[in-house]
Amino acid sequence: MIQTFAISQAIGSLAIVEEKFGLVESSNQQFCTEWLQNLLELNDAQKQALDHLKQRFLSHRKRGELSEGAVDRLLVSPLLDLAGLYEPRFAIDTEVPVEVLAEDDKELYRGRIDVLVIEKQFWVLVVEEKNTRVSMETALPQALAYMTTSPNLEKPVFGLATNGYNFSFIKLQKRNQGEYAFSDSFSLISRQNKLYEVLQILKHIGNLIVVNS
């Protein structure tokens, strides 16, 4: 009999994700060039918009903890919009129910993806959000588990995990077996506005998927 678990409760570490879904972390520097190379320069208007997003978020955060919904409205949705990922060529969905069997076919994991962006049935981006009280690292294994449910892992799937303060990108692709890698963490606590880099990567990923599809 297959046992059923909630991803948000049962997937608490990367070791569990690797064991249950047969993944390995890639050690190849060329595996994740999407957030390292060929990033487009931002114009002044985009930088001003990102400066506004950062200052507005930090001002709200000073008043207390922010929920996942607040993180989405203050940062995630505006970033996806600026990156062009809300344009008609992409399909957008939220709270998407997913399920995936573990490697042993005896455990079924279910959950809901906060935001899913699809281009011609290829998943461009899975966004997993947490409230500001929760460590961003908590979102990483859950986002990775959601990404394993993509119908076409021969093509790369990208994820973004955030709690508002910190952002990290994820790449997952199945070649001989499922491989994944993380970007650096981009923190809003930095003196420099790291949202510049987050937006550059989002735009680059969106452009890559459109070109390659």
Q: Is the pLDDT of residue 213 over 60?
A: no
Mean pLDDT, to the nearest integer, of 152-172?
Answer: 89
> Rounded to two decimals, what is the model's pTM?
0.91
* Predicted pLDDT of residue 135: 79
* Predicted pLDDT of residue 104: 78
Task: Name the 3-class secondary structure at 106.
Answer: coil
- Highest mean pLDDT: which of 3-17, 47-61, 132-146? 47-61
* Predicted pLDDT of residue 27: 87
Instruction: Categorise residue 131: left if φ over 0, alpha if ψ from -120 to 50, beta otherwise.
Output: beta
The number of beta carbons lying within 10 Å of the beta carbon of residue 34 is: 18
Q: In the CATH hierarchy, which fold is given to the domain comprising 33-97+111-212?
A: tt1808, chain A (3.90.1570)
Task: Name the 3-class secondary structure at 167.
Answer: strand
In this prediction, residue 210 has a pLDDT band, given cuts at 50, 70 and 90, of low
Q: Per the structure block, which two tokens stand in for 80? A: 């996806």
In this prediction, residue 105 has a pLDDT band, given cuts at 50, 70 and 90, of confident
In this prediction, residue 212 has a pLDDT band, given cuts at 50, 70 and 90, of low
Report percent pLDDT > 70 for the chain: 97
Note the pLDDT tens digit of each residue in 27-71: 888 888 888 888 889 999 999 999 999 999 999 999 999 898 999
Note the pLDDT tens digit of each residue in 12-30: 899 999 999 999 999 888 8
What is the distance between the alpha carbons of residues 7 and 27, in angstroms, rounded to a whole number?
Answer: 26
* Predicted pLDDT of residue 208: 81
